[in-house]
């Protein structure tokens, strides 16, 4: 047995721990991501919420709610965990209760029934928000663990293979999702409750592999939890002096503004292009999934060699999604299918590649602060993006929103080309 707590491990011993941790991180990631895809934030969830309300702002918020919850607490958590040398149980402990929330919501949906859409909407916003915040609490410890207990090569392989395996599984499940949501399915809201219930089971089972991760030593333990008077100036200093990190944060914010159109593509397909939900949701999900499998395999190879190049290529490819939607408004739905294919190829690994860049770039002592700061700053954009997106759709229509989304992703690509070097 290898003593994983030893600060001086031989390269062969460290590699053995990386390999073992790779399996557990990969298994957790696959189970968790399958669950997220079963209730996709750009497909299933906005289609579900559209049946509960006509508010475009709430529909837009539904697609961003998990990300808002995920980013919101991370900087505050980072402030506390620098006081602890070991971060594993900061990740495992909160995950145990939180990963049952979606399963509970599925049961609530069945109990409320189709005659109480307002109550279902409230229950959804609360449950999905709790799930997002809970995952945000464990986000910084998870980033620190992937930084200390996997090296850059194994992280890129883990992210890429995770996306590829999930993509293949979702290709198999997409027709089943279409059947559940179709006329032969159990009917609303039990059809969506079934998807939430299946996702809840995957969330719950994903707890098991994370129990076996072997944590390697990371940064030095801070002597005390810094006060906000000490902590905030430190964050300001990082933002003022670290140009590459600041540039990647700006890119992340611009990407969130690009992604604000995500929940509205399915509405565009069903409302403006005239596709039914049982056709639009599984078809677009399948096209996105096919792309994600190919993109994940590309990231498995390229991400381990040049993560920054992958980010630049992914941003360029992401621009094809709003372009395809604009074309679909003129010639029909086929360009939108191609756009979702390209979105899967590029965007599916984009946020993971950002995370990998930050974890690799930051020193072990600073990794919790960098990870927390990187994700929490994005909260501001995540909060206002649904309001912007919903307002634009309500007042101007879908096409102006897609044009705005295209502008944001091109700005993000410019920042990565101009200010970030390998």
Per domain, the residue ranges of the chain are 11-419
- Alpha carbon distance 372, 55 (integer Å): 32
Distance CA 306, CA 224 (A): 37
Phi-psi map region of 312: left, alpha, beta (phi>0 left; psi -120 to 50 alpha): alpha
* CA 328 remoteness from chain centre: 26
Question: Low-confidence residues of the chain, pLDDT below 50?
Answer: 1-6
Cα angle 287-288-292, degrees, rounded to a multiple of 5: 120
Cα 80 vs. chain centroid, distance in angstroms? 24
In words, the CATH class of domain 11-419 is mainly alpha
Q: Is 179 exposed, middle or buried (0-12, 13-18, 19+ CB in 10 A)?
A: middle
Rounded CA separation 62/108 (Å): 18
**What is the per-residue pLDDT across 79-94, written as a single tens digit (0 to 9) for each?**
778 777 788 988 999 9
Find where tokens 């078809």 sit.
283
Q: How is residue 250 written in tokens? A: 């700006």
The answer to whether the CB of 294 falls within 8 A of the CB of 345 is yes
Please tell me the predicted confidence (pLDDT) of residue 222. Answer: 62
Structural tokens at position 27: 């298994």
Instruction: State the DSSP H helix or E strand holding residue 419, giving kind and residue range, or none if neither.
Output: helix 398-419
DSSP letter (8 states) at residue 72: T
CB 25, CB 146: distance < 8 Å: yes
End-to-end CA distance of the chain: 37
| Spatial contact of 393 and 401, defined as CB atoms under 8 Å apart | yes
> What single-letter DSSP state applies at residue 260?
T
pLDDT at 254 (0 to 100): 93
> What is the CA 310 to chain-centroid distance, rounded?
17
Tokens found for residue 235: 């964050």
CB 343 within 8 Å of CB 335? no
Number of Cα atoms under 13 Å in the Cβ half of residue 335: 15
pLDDT value of residue 166: 86
Give the Cα separation of 115 and 188 in Å (integer): 10
Question: What DSSP assignment string belongs to 69-96?
Answer: HHHTTHHHHHHHHTT-S--HHHHHHHHH
List Cβ neighbours of 112 (8 Å cut-off, separation of 6 or more).
119, 120, 123, 189
How many whole angstroms from its chain centre is CA 244?
A: 22
Q: State the pLDDT at residue 7.
A: 52
Tens of pLDDT, residues 157-195:
898 889 888 888 888 888 888 889 888 889 899 999 999
């Amino acid at each position: 047995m290898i003593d994983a707590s030893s600060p001086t491990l031989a390269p062969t011993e460290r590699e053995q721990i990386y390999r073992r941790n790779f399996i557990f991180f990969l298994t957790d990631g696959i189970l968790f991501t399958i669950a997220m895809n079963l209730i996709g934030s750009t497909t299933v969830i906005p289609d579900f919420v559209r049946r509960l309300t006509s508010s475009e702002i709430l529909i837009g918020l539904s697609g961003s709610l998990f990300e808002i919850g995920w980013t919101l607490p991370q900087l505050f958590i980072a402030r506390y965990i620098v006081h602890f040398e070991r971060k594993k149980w900061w990740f495992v402990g909160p995950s145990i209760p939180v990963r049952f929330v979606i399963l509970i919501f599925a049961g609530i949906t069945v109990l409320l029934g189709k005659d109480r859409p307002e109550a279902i909407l409230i229950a959804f916003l609360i449950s999905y928000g709790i799930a997002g915040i809970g995952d945000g609490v464990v986000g910084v410890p998870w980033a620190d663990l992937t930084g200390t207990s996997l090296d850059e090569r194994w992280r890129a392989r883990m992210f890429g293979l995770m996306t590829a395996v999930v993509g293949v599984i979702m290709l198999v499940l997409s027709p089943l999702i279409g059947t559940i949501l179709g006329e032969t399915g159990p009917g609303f809201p039990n059809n969506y409750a079934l998807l939430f219930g299946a996702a809840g089971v995957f969330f719950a089972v994903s707890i098991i592999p994370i129990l076996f991760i072997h944590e390697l030593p990371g940064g030095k333990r801070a002597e005390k939890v810094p006060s906000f008077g000490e902590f905030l100036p430190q964050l300001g200093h990082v933002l003022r002096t670290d140009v590459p990190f600041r540039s990647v944060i700006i890119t992340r914010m611009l990407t969130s503004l690009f992604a604000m159109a995500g929940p509205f593509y399915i509405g565009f397909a069903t409302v403006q292009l005239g596709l039914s939900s049982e056709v639009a949701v599984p078809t677009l999900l399948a096209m996105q999934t096919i792309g994600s499998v190919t993109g994940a395999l590309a990231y498995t190879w390229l991400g381990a060699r040049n993560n920054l190049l992958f980010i630049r290529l992914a941003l360029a490819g992401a621009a094809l999604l709003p372009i395809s939607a604009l074309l679909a408004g003129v010639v029909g739905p086929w360009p939108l299918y191609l756009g979702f294919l390209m979105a899967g190829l590029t965007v599916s690994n984009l946020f993971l590649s950002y995370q990998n860049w930050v974890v690799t770039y930051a020193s072990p002592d600073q990794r919790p602060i960098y990870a927390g700061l990187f994700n929490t700053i994005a909260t501001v954009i995540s909060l206002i993006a649904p309001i912007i997106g919903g307002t634009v759709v309500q007042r101007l229509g879908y096409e102006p929103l897609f044009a705005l989304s295209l502008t944001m992703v091109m700005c993000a690509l410019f920042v990565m080309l101009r200010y970030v070097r390998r």
